[in-house]
Amino acid sequence: MKLLIVESPSKAKTIAKYLDGAYEVRASVGHVRDLPKSNKKAVDIEAGFVPHYEVSVGKEKVISDIKSLAKKSNEVILATDPDREGEAIAWHIREACNLHNAKRVTFNEITEKAVKEALKHPRDIDMNLKEAQEARRVLDRLVGYDLSGIIWQKVRYGLSAGRVQSPALRIIMEREREIRAFIPETYYVIAGEFGTVGRMKESKSYTLLLECDIQPKEKTEAERIVKAGRANSWEVVAVESTEVSRSPKAPFTTSTLQQAASSRLGYAPSRTMGIAQKLYEKGLITYMRTDSTTISKDALGEIGKVIEKNFGHDVLQIRQYKTKSKNAQEAHEAIRPTHAMTRSGGSTDDEKRLYSLIWERTVSSQMKDAKLKRSKVSANITNKSIPNFSVTGSVVVYPGWLLVDQDARGDDVILPELKVGDELNLKTLQSIEKQTEPPHRYTEAGLVKELEKRGIGRPSTYASIISTIEARGYVDKINKSLHPTDTGEVVISFLEDHFASYISDTFTADMEDKLDTIAEGKATYLKILKDFYGPFIKDVKSKAKLEKATNMGDAPEDILCPLCNSPMVVKLSKNGKFYSCSKYPDCMGARKLDGSVMEGPKKLDKKCPKCEKGDLMERDGRYGKFIACSNYPKCKYIEQDEEMRKANSTGVSCNKCKDGYMEERKGRFGVFYSCSNYPDCKHIVKTRPTGNRCTWKKVDGTLCGELMMEGTKTIPERCSDKLCPNHNPHKLDKVEKK
């Protein structure tokens, strides 16, 4: 028997179809090992930055199955994705499953030809690629934990920072500061409607909208132009006509695919990459994490046949595009359809739309330039005492690649045939006052483009960078634009003040270059990490005595402390911005941003039942009132008030501690359900429990007994235990069939 291991079940299913039983194809379902959550156990710095990996939760059975199959196999092939991450996954599978004779193959597309050709050329795991990925993972962990630790102390507990996420947040905040500092300037747009008269070749009359070539900033000048224009006759003073070419765009890279999908389809980068992953695993497109614009010769030949068959030989022009990224790596082809003859692909609407976008970009990239005729008509009053007024139009005279990419064509704007000296009949002329606008905030697509331009991150990281800063509450997406939150502003301001060099463009891009040298075999894992970490941790430790950084500036002068009448400052708490007395902690006065007085904690006539020393205090939190010990954080006893507890209780008893009840709570990632005895009992489920218990029998005959949660329409309930077949309907079907 021969065993071939890939990451995803979907990919395994597609490849198995091509191999006709010659290989047993199994999926690792992504990484099988990772660094532990505890930073102290994750990396042994003194031993040379040695990472300590643990088997990922739920992967024990996967590893066991692979080990069992490998013992029966005379050949084991690791066919994970063709990039550093894939190389690292292959190494982890080999180490975790003791597959020391396993070989490695890669293919850029999941087609029968590509898979079978790759299996003819097995190789060893590329340790340079593996170490480059490992260095990035370890570096991100060290930077993230050390910076996050000091942010916890100086800003607020639970916040975090990252090696590439923080520079992305800084870019967003820089644009926000530009917007705040922007001072609008007034200008005037002057436009008029004109009818064509006089020497015309055509009998049909036209109405043209001409706009003044100059936008005056002074009202008096705008009024002068309007007055003169209304008082005089108009004539054509210039007619210009030029032919211009529009070249097709290069085939998609990861970055350009995310940008195009965002602007044309409205997809977030993470959504785009998820859809592209499915298309790749189904064998419909080539590998979707790439910064190369190259297309293979075989693929170019097929694309040429498609163009000749559907659009004619005359429009074909085979091109090779130069990759702009100086460190282009990952897969070595652009994102393209595996079979250009397949015009439509995918099983869902999302998949079909993205596949169509990829197909159109790929095919149009090998077609001739489009040719457009651009015309400009300029007019003025007879004495020419005011600036020219003009209108432009364009007509496609040779479509070229626009035959495929119709959305890029735009509408034709046809102007009548006019000559210099032709009269124009003024119908209306008016001036509109406008103001200059600040620079636009970044959209997700715009941020991806900016990150790529500055060399921050790599193709595989763009989507996760944006998802991370959104999930952490550092930015809000409002009408497609990314707005930094109060929390994001405080965090990035703190990092800029004290760790500017580590979140700068030059440092981040330079570090990416250094990590690339590991992949190229020009530098070692130990040297790169050692050169960075020594100065970095020294700098972090030197900031230990900094003061808390929650102050966001002075409050308005008319906002005074309700207790001592002193000036107030804007501060940030976990519940958002508020006004705090400038004499804090000597004075505890506080106001909400609407000016109303914030009530402080109320002392209750009860001692804490946990530590028996502190007093119970009633406090206001983001999700309502709760009761906590006055000795917090030494004592973390907490409970909700009776009214909120009744409202949030599901009435379902906890099956861990047996004494508590499952209550609805809200956290950073939405609603969840936890035991009322928290923190003594930390049992949590993500979906509302129904009160029933799982009746699935284990191998030893005992019942599972876990809580049943609300499920889907087809299966109303599912078990809260992920390892139970009742948790997953597909697993349940397999169990029932057996």
Domain boundary assignment for the chain: 2-125, 136-182+460-542, 186-247+370-435, 254-364, 554-737
C-beta separation of 376 from 367 below 8 A = no
> In 59-111, where does DSSP find H-type helix?
60-71, 84-96
Burial 176-186 (b: 16+ CB within 10 A, else e): beeeeeeeeee
Determine the pLDDT at residue 688.
83
Q: How far apart are CA 15 and CA 110, in angstroms?
A: 7
pLDDT at 458 over 50: yes
**Which contacts (CB < 8 Å, 24+ apart) does range 52-58 have?**
53/92, 53/95, 55/96, 56/31, 56/32, 58/722, 58/723
Selecting from 3.90.550.10, 3.40.50.140, 2.170.260.10, 3.20.20.120, what CATH number does the domain 2-125 have?
3.40.50.140
Average pLDDT over residues 724-735: 61
Token pair for 92: 């982890």
Average pLDDT over residues 246-265: 94
Determine the pLDDT at residue 92.
95
Closest CA to 85 of 267, 288, 354: 288
Largest separation between any pair of C-alpha atoms in the chain = 102
Question: E strands within 140-265?
Answer: 186-196, 207-212, 234-246
Mean per-residue pLDDT of the chain? 87
Determine the pLDDT at residue 734.
42
C-beta separation of 344 from 278 below 8 A = no
CA dihedral 63, 66, 72, 75 (to 10 degrees): -130
Token pair for 350: 């999302």
Q: How far apart are CA 276 and CA 354, in angstroms?
A: 8
pLDDT at 55 over 70: yes
CA 317, 362, 297, 513 torsion-angle sign: positive
C-beta separation of 258 from 272 below 8 A = yes
Of the listed ranges 128-142, 346-360, 451-465, 468-482, the one predicted with least confidence: 451-465
Q: Which of 280, 287, 442, 525 is catalytic?
A: 287
Q: Model confidence at 566, in pLDDT bands (50, 70, 90)? A: very high
Q: Model confidence at 736, in pLDDT bands (50, 70, 90)? A: very low
- Pairing relationship of beta strands 75-78 and 2-6 according to DSSP bridges: parallel
Q: How far apart are CA 634 and CA 648, in angstroms?
A: 27
Average pLDDT over residues 447-453: 91
Bridge partners, residue 664, by sequence: 673
The CATH number of domain 186-247+370-435 is 3.30.200.20: no
Determine the pLDDT at residue 411.
80
What number of CA atoms fall less than 13 Å from residue 605's CA on the CB side? Answer: 0
Q: Among this protein's residues, is 287 annotated catalytic?
A: yes
63-77, 313-327, 497-511: range with highest mean pLDDT? 63-77
Average pLDDT over residues 147-165: 84
What number of CA atoms fall less than 13 Å from residue 568's CA on the CB side? Answer: 27
Determine the pLDDT at residue 678.
76
What number of CA atoms fall less than 13 Å from residue 163's CA on the CB side? Answer: 24
Selected residue with higher pLDDT from 206 and 500:
500
Token pair for 628: 């906590």
Any idea what DSSP says for residue 591? Answer: E
What architecture is domain 136-182+460-542? Orthogonal Bundle (1.10)
Selected residue with higher pLDDT from 694 and 307:
307
Token pair for 221: 């000048």
pLDDT at 251 over 80: yes
Closest CA to 445 of 263, 241, 573: 263
Provide the whole-model pTM: 0.76
Question: What is residue 210's three-state secondary structure?
Answer: strand
Token pair for 205: 């009359």
The CATH number of domain 254-364 is 3.40.630.30: no
List, for residues 78-110, the tens digit of each pLDDT value: 999 998 889 999 999 999 999 988 999 999 999
C-beta separation of 152 from 158 below 8 A = yes
Q: What DSSP string runs through 233-245? A: -EEEEEEEEEEEE
- Pairing relationship of beta strands 103-104 and 186-196 according to DSSP bridges: unpaired
List, for residues 385-443, the tens digit of each pLDDT value: 999 999 999 999 999 999 999 888 888 888 888 999 999 999 999 999 999 999 999 99
Determine the pLDDT at residue 204.
61
Q: How far apart are CA 133 and CA 519, in angstroms?
A: 8
C-beta separation of 473 from 668 below 8 A = yes
Give the distance from CA 475 to its chain's centroid: 12
Q: How far apart are CA 445 and CA 683, in angstroms?
A: 39
Determine the pLDDT at residue 621.
64
Cβ neighbours of 596 (radius 10 Å): 9
Residue type, 606: K
pLDDT at 733 over 60: no
Question: E strands within 197-292?
Answer: 207-212, 234-246
Residue 54's φ and ψ, nearest 5 degrees, are: -125, 150
Determine the pLDDT at residue 335.
95
Determine the pLDDT at residue 735.
41
